[in-house]
Amino acid sequence: MAKLVEMRTYRLKPGGPAQWMKTYEEQALKLQKEILGHLVGYYQTEIGPLNEVIHMWAYDGLDARAERRAKLASHPDWQKFIPNVRPLVETQESKILIPAPFSPTP
């Protein structure tokens, strides 16, 4: 059972989500799943603030998260991916969610 979930929200330029999703699926999804481990979900907004991409990953704790994120950041394929999506990003936010004792967890 995961001890925390990280939720990352990227607000992209108008029209950016479609390009982000295509590029991400082709260049980064497999690598991120291998290194980060447990993908809880990957979404884009349809109502409310638009042009947002949100993804959630489960971790056993903050140390495990830090270790996995550092490994991802140093991977050559990840470093090739980032310049392809960085121009789409307007803002980025990361939240650490701690599940309630009664919450179903990934």
**What pLDDT sits at residue 2?**
66
Number of domains in the chain: 1
Residue 57 lies in a domain: no
Domain range spanning residue 47?
13-52+75-99
Instruction: Say which CATH number the domain at 88 has.
Output: 3.30.70.100
Higher pLDDT, 3 or 9: 9
Residue 59 lies in a domain: no
- Residue 36 near residue 71 (C-beta atoms within 8 A): no
* pTM of the model as a whole: 0.91
pLDDT higher than 80, residue 31: yes
**What pLDDT sits at residue 84?**
97
